[in-house]
Amino acid sequence: MTANINSPAGYKFPPAGSSRRQEKAWVKPTLIGIAIGYLALVLFIPTLNVFYQAFRKGFEPFFSNLTSPDFLHAAQLTLVISLIVVPVNTVFGLCAAWVIGRNKFRGRTLLISLLDVPFAISPVVAGLMIVLLYGRLGWFGPWLEAANIKVIFAFPGMVLATAFVTLPFVAREVIPVLEEVGTDQEEAAKTLGANDWQIFWNVTLPSIRWGLLYGVILTNARAMGEFGAVSVVSGNIAKKTQTLPLFVEDAYKQYATQAAFSAAVVLGLLAVVTLVLKEILERKTRIKEVEE
């Protein structure tokens, strides 16, 4: 009806709801089916398998695996490493985000690319570089040996490797937030006589808190889950230099599949918690965007 009034002679607009304007009926279910099928093969089934394998003989073997000394030591080491790495990389990430997000200088683009390097290179190459620097034949090798400090195949090397691979997360999440928030409020605070620390603590930090928290969560997930780089520098000795991800591989290689999957469930839950927190934070920032 309406179409006929303004349409050029001889042309009929397709009526609303016709197959011409809307997708053919089979397209939507087919595409959804392919997407879910693909995700099932690659993601869902392997994830379900972790929980199935860990619990298929009931809860008892699962809990007995979780109380084995090797597992407990690995879990403790994983926690301690992440307790050191996450705060250090958070402070660095905040500083780097401030430098990049609040300043214009030559080499700024280069600095941003440098920050991406730990993500771009293989974790094994990262571990190798740390071995070549702190190992017995490395640059600092003789000096460390004289001081009787063991870095490679020991705790400090594992901390360094973990810190290396998780270095960019906080800065990368905070920089865009910092740029979007702008400097108006900070300048207002400065005019009102606040010092740098007060401005950071009372003005900047509250406005970037969700982005910062997101970066911290990602740092923590990677720090607790890192395998390649830590594997290279640790030597993987049970009860000494074995973290949870290394424990999983070691147990699997020793045909202790049940123990491997029990530890995998713990790491899998860490991943689930990370994803849930990520969803919550993304919703929080989205709501904020709508409000503004």
Partner 1 sequence: MAGSSAISNPQSPIENIKRAIGKITLPWGITLGYLSLMLLLPVAAMLLKASTANPAEFWKIATSPIALSAYDVTFFTALIAALINGVFGTLIAWVLVRYDFPLKRIIDAVVDLPFALPTSVAGLTLATVYSDNGWIGSLFAPLGIKISFTRLGVGIAMIFISLPFIVRTVQPVLNEMEKEIEEAAWCLGASQFETFWRVVLPPLFPSILTGVALGFSRAVGEYGSTVIVASNIPFKDLIAPVLIFQRLEQYDYAGATVIGTVMLAISLAMLFAINLLQAWRRRYDG
In the window 242-281, what residues touch partner 1 (CB under 8 A)? 244-246, 248-249, 252, 257, 260-261, 264, 267-268, 270-272, 274-276, 278-279
Q: How far apart are alpha carbons 192 and 184 in whole angstroms? A: 12
175-214 residues in contact with partner 1 (CB under 8 A) are: none
Contact between 131 and partner 1 by CB under 8 A: the answer reads yes
Residue span binding partner 1 (CB under 8 A) among the ranges 56-64, 113-121, 172-180, 201-209: 113-121
Contact pick of 207, 227, 258, 285 for partner 1 (by CB under 8 A): 227
Interactions with partner 1, residue window 45-104 (CB under 8 A): 45-47, 49-50, 53, 91-92, 94-96, 98-99
d(CA 92, CA 168): 9
Span interacting with partner 1, options 142-150, 157-165, 182-190, 205-213, rule CB under 8 A: 157-165
Site stretch for partner 1 (CB under 8 A), options 15-23, 143-151, 184-192, 284-292 = 15-23
Tell me how far CA of residue 256 lies from CA of 59, 113, 144, 251, 259, in angstroms: 16, 42, 37, 5, 5
Buried b (16+ CB within 10 A) or exposed e, 223-239: bbbbbebbbbbbebebe
Could you tell me which stretch among 56-64, 65-73, 122-130, 204-212 binds partner 1 (CB under 8 A)? 122-130
Q: How far is the CB of 121 from partner 1 (least distance, A)?
A: 4
Rg (CA), the chain: 26
Q: Is the dihedral of CA 245, 248, 250, 253 positive or negative?
A: negative
User: In the block, which residue shows the tokens 């695996």?
Assistant: 65
Do residues 164 and 117 touch, judged by C-beta distance below 8 A? no
Binding-site size for partner 1 (CB under 8 A) equals: 89
Rounded to 5 degrees, φ, ψ at 12 are -110, 125
